[in-house]
Chains A and B, each alone.
Chain A
Amino acid sequence: MSTLTYKKVNEDFLSLLRNPTKAWYVLFVLDLLVLAFGAACWIYQIQTGMGAAGKMRPVMWALYITDFVFWVGIGHAGTLISAVLFLFRSRFRNAIYRTAEGMTVFAVMTAGLFPLIHLGRVWFFYWLLPYPNQRGLWPNFRSPLEWDVFAVSTYLTISSVFFFVGLIPDLAVARESATGLRKKIYTLASLGWRGTNTQWKHYNNAYIYFAALATPLVFSVHSVVSWDFAMSVNPGWHGTIFAPYFVAGAIFSGIGMVITLMVPMRKIFGLEKYLTDWHFDSMGKILLFTSLIVTYAYATEMFMAWYSGNPFEKSVFWDRAFGPLGWAYWVMVLCNCLIPLLCIKKTVRTNVWGMFIISIFVNIGMWFERFVIIVQSLSHNFDPWVWRQYHPTLVDVGISIGSFAWFGMFFLLFIKFLPAMAIVEIKEILPVPRKKARAA
């Protein structure tokens, strides 16, 4: 990076905000088509009833909650990178945190849809919100689903604010070279940023403050999500390991998603200067570490099922590995436990496309982890009389794929309208510019 100057950085990133290419438009339209299909599926489901999806007794939750947990989990890496690594002064975060943070906001926005989509009577979703109402009824604060409402909405609020605060100096940079309507919007959004010392002082204080506020959310939100399951009585769900296990899984999947997003970005926009092997090496280490935690959790679950002697637990975990959904379990083990082990070697971690492929597997594996936990546990509950296998319908699948399009739409807009990397923070790790290079 030594060849980079502040000016070059400005130019590199502001060039990303220029008019999109044809490829971008094609991608965007395709994305919207998929999204429209997902939306049509949802509308159809609202009209005909939840039966349009493949759920039944006993599997009353399936793909929607799987997707919900998956997307919430994705979000965690962004917060980890932007907040936790900031507090730890981890320098490799500077280049990736903006994208990761954007990903967090969009992932939480996606995740937040699913609790609505899975409601039998979505038109009454606001009954879950605590506000003084004519029904004279508060929501049930004992219900983990109610905790979800708070966890997810808090998470969305904090991560959006944090995202926005981080953007202010960069928006000011963008403002300088923008014209027309864009200029007005950037001007408004940069809140009169002029880069004075006082502003920098306040800015840095605020940033640390928000980072400190966001940090506990990395742990609390996914713990709360895990309690949707752990607080129930179901074998396969009712485990004390769930909160740490889910948090590790969330960071694992989130880092996976960051890599999945950054590798093509780096290629398409020629950001090799900014996203170096060093970044992927560091992310590979986190990936490996969280993969090991997740593997440990899987092993612990199995061990506890056997060691507890609880026949229901034993049965459900035996079925998990060797029952009709056993294939999904082994897909999960392969993707989450075995393939990430490749990251032990530094040559793998610094091989960008290798990391990309691994990250795809991690995404698949983590989606299947949630699928297995939710669907398999429910299908093999207490009463063998009602055991039954779940078969997804077009509506289930359409809405799930649509959720990726929804996320993709925001991401595509993001890279064209906001600085995808933190210009200011990249400058922080550059040599301070001088009129004349000092002799060495």
Chain B
Amino acid sequence: MSDEINEQPLPLRRREFLKLVGVATAAGAGAGCLEFPPPNELIQPYVTAPENIIPGVATYYASTCRECPAACGLHVKTREGRAIKLEGNPAHPVNLGSLCARGQSALQGLYNPDRHASPKQRQADGTFKEITWEEAEKLLAEKLAAPGGAIQFWTGQETGTRAALYDAFVGALGSAERVVHEPFAWEALREGNRLAFGRAEIPTYDFAAAGSVFTFGADFLETWISPVEYARTFAARHGGDKLELGRLITFEPRLSLTGSNADEWVAIKPGTEALAALAMAQVIVAEGLARGSTGGLDLTPYAPANVAEQVGVPADVLGRLAREFAANGPGLAIAGGIAAQSARATHAVVAANILTSVGGGLGTALHFGRTLDLGRTQSTRELVPAIERMNGGTVGVLLVHGTNPAYSLPGALGFETAAKKVAFKVSFSIDPDETSQLCDLILPDNHPLESWGDAQAWTGVRSLLQPAMRPVFRTKSTPDVLLAAAKTLGKAQGMLAAATWRDALTAAWGGPGAAWDAALAAGGSFAAPAPGTATLAGGLGSLAFTAPELGGDAAGTPLVVYASPNMYDGRGANKPWLQELPDPVTKVVWDHWVEIHPDTMKQLGLKRGDHVALKTPTGTLETAAYDYIGIRPDVFAVGTGQGHTAVGGRYWKRGGNVAGFLPATYDEASGALAYVAVRTSLNKTGKKYKLAYLGGDPYTGGQSRQMGRGIAQAIPLTELRPTEHTEDKRESHMSEHGDVEHAGGHGDPMLHLPGFIGSPVPADPIAHAAKEAPNSAYAKHAKYKWGMVIDLNSCNGCQACVVACSAENNVAFVGKEQVDKGREMMWLRIERYYEEHDGKLEVRHVPVMCQHCGAAPCESVCPVYATYHNPEGLNAMIYNRCVGTRYCSNNCPYKVRAFNWFHYDFPVPLNWQLNPDVTVRDKGVMEKCSFCVQRIRDAKDHAKDEARDVRDGEMVTACQQTCPARAIVFGDLKDPESRVTKLVEHERGYKIFEEINTYPAVTYLKKVTRDVPV
């Protein structure tokens, strides 16, 4: 080649050559632009980079979670314009950086492959046809201009500017009404507080300030009001190393996750929460221990002896607990959870408030310093007239946004038949849910992560939503659609005059400017919490507290319906993360089941997984039987949220719809739907069925017992040595936790401080000396040695960490059939063990991930060095080297390695959520927890840029980052000052299977059991 050139020199001079090259390049580039059809997408760098996007660097947008009314603050992590992970906003006072499993899974709502991808119109044959937004909006305006009757606008619970806009829109339309339906709207709680305190609000419940918490079916660690916040404040007092460890006693027929964290579970009969609470209040008052009024109620009729039989608990137990409650003040009694929402739910809330009052919790543990604003909601009973109007044929147009009444209302209310009588129905639903399937026009809203908006959490805490990315599908923000419709109809006055929804929102926040920008950056505006008071109103004497009458066959078994922690009111069901996330107590995945006591199962001749039908006068619910040790033998329990029927949903059609099968009975005082309302019969259907669950199969050897193997260890409080300074610091410590902010904000519930129990001195100095693994010399010169400490006294088993881990590390979901085969991929699991002493059930949760052993059994057996020990103490996994012998997993005592049995798909666009920093593993490769090695790299790179070492607390793993209870600490074990180093030495510290000499890098701190007599 070079010879040829030499022989025939080009007849070009250098300049001419360059000119030609330039022209050719330009022509080529031009041709490329004009090419039609456009060429396939290529991986290429941004030529003109969009603003704020640096390839490879994440951009975070502050926003707000809309998965439940709690309104936690979000930081949406985006990479190259795509949201890839949701994390809590550390500045947001509700969640202070944590986020629950449901909140994190909102990402799978955003990228859900089943979402409405465009506006659709129903055709004459009943099918839907995709149409353009112009056509759709024109049609909407036409119908609104001539509705042929009244207009009903059904929405979910909304606060802030969106609610105002809806109201303005409905007001402008004239003959229109806004109907608000939120399945879990805490009506009974608000009504009960109105009766007890004269304020129909949700007050501040400060678990950190409560010495004793008695919960009457309020599952505050799962779904009750604001679980992330409560998990944190609860752990601040109940977990960690506090000397005045809080107590939690739970009164519920079916042990919830919250109950599993209780010091004692009192299995009362369903609906008798009020009686149990008043009985204990009576004891406190009668024995002169009361620290507050009873609101004028004469408690004598509710003495334990009188109600014990109704409640189903011996009178002396109630008496003992009452004395404990009074002795370990301030006492906080809470009620009003879904699982206790009977016809007497409001009364239970009043009774709990009375108990709080006599227990001295008013003003400290319960106060109205700031209250939760749920906006205007309507109880289920208040919906009846609206449904009747539809039935009467006077409604011409039905608009539905953010609520799914065709699913979440009892079938007996007849929403579906009524809606069919409405001539024109419009859905603004994001997902193809049951209600949108009834509609004639579907105008899909943007997902909250693609939307502007705001939400009110607590008073003074206004939280902003901003789009983290462009809409994934051809959707349009509903407020914008409404503003456009208002303009077309000539009704653009007031708020509706705004050009766009964003303008309207900005205007409501005081217009663009520095304040708006600051609020946007911070995620909202957060006022400091105001101290508050609470006083019991008088005149409660007129209230009569009785157990509710349950409907259905008198010979049937009472049915308790509880709010599923994963599915919530049904909105979690289309998210594979939440379906594959095991239920925190039963550990069942991808399914629906009825919980039955093992003894009752035996009597009924049932085995786990048998397909059964529950029958009530209003319907039949087909589901699978699950033997649950944490339930009264005379009660059945089912969770909400499954049993969707909508077409096109690939993840959510499982089990039965509980809400649809319930009778239309209400809490008498508040009108809330009574979830504990019927007795039911139970029969086998004979269908072949299988439940998939973790934790081993009780029939073939798998256990929910530790078999004495010391996996989840506990230590009685009396065995912990109080430190020297205990006595003199006791006073100051008490005042330290006057408010939520304090406890969660600075509080390090785990660190050894004066006034805390536990000693930093290792129990056994010889064992301590041997802590270094025998072959660790090679790591001598490494700067860091990473380690983790998990406090089992703080961990409540909520599993937020599991979803965080899956989101951070691109862990695949595998579906029910594969989980049933034991092939779940999760890198982190919460093992749930039952302990029984003296007939009392104790539940222990222990998060287990790769222990990054110093002398790891997996490493030596890998023939190809796919797993090896890196100098920083990480048990590293090199996917590309793995040939899949699976020997490492066989030799792992903790069985934390997950093998890619197949190629696992992330159906488009769920693959958009993948974290580009983490390899996606293909079939035949082993994987496991990496201690978020990509985050370690990131932290080290940052530190290097600033010519320093990684600071303690700077490197945070995904599980640690999201943990609402702050149970996980990660850091450098070579830094003598790091939290993790100090905690590793903790008296409560232990390592799982330490006797195998694996030298794990994960230290667990024993759970503290409170066996201290009163």
Choose among A51, A122, A125 the residue that contacts B902 (Cβ–Cβ < 8 A): A51
Contact status A120-B822, CB under 8 Å: no
Chain B residues 276-321 with CB under 8 Å of chain A are none
* A335-359 near B? 1/0 per residue, CB < 8 Å: 0000000000000000000000000
Contact status A51-B818, CB under 8 Å: yes
Q: What residues of chain A lie closer than 8 Å to B996, measured between beta carbons?
A: 233, 382
Q: What residues of chain A lie closer than 8 Å to B459, measured between beta carbons?
A: none
Q: Min CB distance, B83 to chain A, in Å?
A: 30
In the complex, whether A119 has a CB less than 8 A from a CB of chain B is yes
Choose among A58, A128, A319 the residue that contacts B895 (Cβ–Cβ < 8 A): A58
Stretch at the interface among B403-411, B700-708, B929-937: B700-708
In the complex, whether A434 has a CB less than 8 A from a CB of chain B is no
In the complex, whether B591 has a CB less than 8 A from a CB of chain A is no
Q: Min CB distance, A143 to chain B, in Å?
A: 4
Answer whether A57 and B881 are a contact pair too, CB < 8 Å, given A49-B902, A231-B861, A383-B893.
no
Chain B residues 911-940 with CB under 8 Å of chain A are 923-926
* B875-909 near A? 1/0 per residue, CB < 8 Å: 00000011111110111011101111111000000
Chain A residues 46-70 with CB under 8 Å of chain B are 48-51, 54-58, 60-61
In the complex, whether B948 has a CB less than 8 A from a CB of chain A is no
Contact status B887-A143, CB under 8 Å: yes
Q: Min CB distance, B1014 to chain A, in Å?
A: 35
Q: Min CB distance, B812 to chain A, in Å?
A: 12
* Closest chain A residue, CB of each to CB of B707: A384
Contact status A387-B701, CB under 8 Å: yes
Q: What residues of chain A lie closer than 8 Å to B895, measured between beta carbons?
A: 57-58, 381-383, 386
In the complex, whether A142 has a CB less than 8 A from a CB of chain B is yes
- Complex CA gap A385/B996 in Å reads 18
Chain B residues 846-882 with CB under 8 Å of chain A are 848, 857, 860-865, 881-882
In the complex, whether A379 has a CB less than 8 A from a CB of chain B is yes
Contact status A389-B863, CB under 8 Å: no
In the complex, whether A234 has a CB less than 8 A from a CB of chain B is yes
In the complex, whether A266 has a CB less than 8 A from a CB of chain B is no
Q: Min CB distance, A202 to chain B, in Å?
A: 40
In the complex, whether A262 has a CB less than 8 A from a CB of chain B is no
Contact status A379-B701, CB under 8 Å: yes
Contact status B823-A51, CB under 8 Å: yes
Q: What residues of chain A lie closer than 8 Å to B903, measured between beta carbons?
A: 49
Q: What residues of chain B lie closer than 8 Å to A240, measured between beta carbons?
A: none
- Complex CA gap A54/B923 in Å reads 15
In the complex, whether A182 has a CB less than 8 A from a CB of chain B is no
Q: What residues of chain B lie closer than 8 Å to A55, measured between beta carbons?
A: 886, 901
Contact status A389-B899, CB under 8 Å: no
Contact status A233-B709, CB under 8 Å: no
Q: What residues of chain B lie closer than 8 Å to A378, measured between beta carbons?
A: 890
- Classify chain A: how many residues form its interface, as a range: 35 or more
- Complex CA gap A49/B902 in Å reads 5
Answer whether A319 and B863 are a contact pair too, CB < 8 Å, given A48-B902, A51-B823, A145-B887.
no
Contact status B890-A232, CB under 8 Å: yes
Count residues of chain B with CB under 8 A from any CB of chain A.
57
* B924-961 near A? 1/0 per residue, CB < 8 Å: 11100000000000000000000000000000000000
In the complex, whether A427 has a CB less than 8 A from a CB of chain B is no
* A125-150 near B? 1/0 per residue, CB < 8 Å: 10110000001010110111110010
| Number of A-B contacts defined by CB within 8 Å | 184
- Complex CA gap A409/B701 in Å reads 41
- Complex CA gap A16/B833 in Å reads 67
Chain B residues 793-852 with CB under 8 Å of chain A are 818, 821-823, 829, 831, 833, 848
* B776-795 near A? 1/0 per residue, CB < 8 Å: 00000000000000000000
Contact status B884-A119, CB under 8 Å: yes
- Complex CA gap A49/B697 in Å reads 25
In the complex, whether A118 has a CB less than 8 A from a CB of chain B is yes
In the complex, whether B696 has a CB less than 8 A from a CB of chain A is yes
In the complex, whether B695 has a CB less than 8 A from a CB of chain A is yes
Q: What residues of chain B lie closer than 8 Å to A388, measured between beta carbons?
A: 696-697, 700, 702, 822
Contact status A389-B883, CB under 8 Å: no
Choose among B695, B711, B829, B862 the residue that contacts A143 (Cβ–Cβ < 8 A): B862
Contact status B696-A387, CB under 8 Å: yes
Contact status A120-B885, CB under 8 Å: yes
In the complex, whether A121 has a CB less than 8 A from a CB of chain B is yes
Contact status B863-A145, CB under 8 Å: yes
* A265-276 near B? 1/0 per residue, CB < 8 Å: 000000000000
Q: What residues of chain A lie closer than 8 Å to B695, measured between beta carbons?
A: 385
Q: What residues of chain A lie closer than 8 Å to B818, measured between beta carbons?
A: 51
- Complex CA gap A60/B895 in Å reads 10
Q: What residues of chain B lie closer than 8 Å to A120, measured between beta carbons?
A: 882-886, 899-900, 923-926
Answer whether A381 and B898 are a contact pair too, CB < 8 Å, given A51-B823, A56-B822, A389-B697.
no
* A386-405 near B? 1/0 per residue, CB < 8 Å: 11110100000000000000
Answer whether A127 and B822 are a contact pair too, CB < 8 Å, given A49-B924, A387-B696.
no
Identify whether the interface residues of A are mostly helix, strand, loop, or mixed: loop
Q: Min CB distance, B868 to chain A, in Å?
A: 8
- Complex CA gap A6/B355 in Å reads 108
Q: What residues of chain B lie closer than 8 Å to A380, measured between beta carbons?
A: 701
Contact status A311-B708, CB under 8 Å: yes
Q: Min CB distance, A392 to chain B, in Å?
A: 12
Q: What residues of chain A lie closer than 8 Å to B689, measured between beta carbons?
A: none
Q: What residues of chain B lie closer than 8 Å to A319, measured between beta carbons?
A: 701
Q: What residues of chain A lie closer than 8 Å to B860, measured between beta carbons?
A: 140, 142-143
Contact status B993-A60, CB under 8 Å: no
Contact status B901-A51, CB under 8 Å: yes
Contact status A233-B893, CB under 8 Å: yes
Q: What residues of chain B lie closer than 8 Å to A57, measured between beta carbons?
A: 822-823, 889, 895, 897-899
Q: What residues of chain A lie closer than 8 Å to B885, measured between beta carbons?
A: 118-120, 145
- Complex CA gap A383/B701 in Å reads 12
Q: Min CB distance, A213 to chain B, in Å?
A: 26
In the complex, whether A323 has a CB less than 8 A from a CB of chain B is yes
Q: What residues of chain B lie closer than 8 Å to A49, measured between beta carbons?
A: 900-903, 923-924
- Complex CA gap A56/B696 in Å reads 12
Choose among A58, A128, A231 the residue that contacts B883 (Cβ–Cβ < 8 A): A128
Contact status A125-B883, CB under 8 Å: yes
- Complex CA gap A121/B921 in Å reads 12
Contact status B821-A56, CB under 8 Å: yes
Q: What residues of chain A lie closer than 8 Å to B898, measured between beta carbons?
A: 57
Q: What residues of chain A lie closer than 8 Å to B865, measured between beta carbons?
A: 137, 139-140
Contact status A382-B897, CB under 8 Å: no
In the complex, whether A324 has a CB less than 8 A from a CB of chain B is yes
Q: Min CB distance, B928 to chain A, in Å?
A: 11
Interface residues of B (CB under 8 A from A): 694-697, 700-709, 711, 818, 821-823, 829, 831, 833, 848, 857, 860-865, 881-887, 889-891, 893-895, 897-903, 923-926, 993, 996, 998
Q: Which 8 A-B residue pairs are closest in the complex by CB-CB distance?
A: A120-B884, A51-B901, A120-B924, A56-B822, A49-B923, A60-B886, A121-B924, A49-B902
Interface residues of A (CB under 8 A from B): 48-51, 54-58, 60-61, 118-122, 124-125, 127-128, 135, 137, 139-140, 142-146, 149, 228, 231-234, 311-312, 315, 319, 323-324, 378-389, 391
Given A60-B889, A121-B924, 7 new contacts (CB under 8 A): A48-B902, A50-B901, A118-B885, A121-B883, A385-B695, A385-B831, A391-B821
**Mind listing 10 A-B residue pairs with CB under 8 Å?**
A49-B901, A51-B923, A124-B883, A140-B860, A232-B890, A382-B893, A382-B895, A383-B831, A384-B706, A385-B848
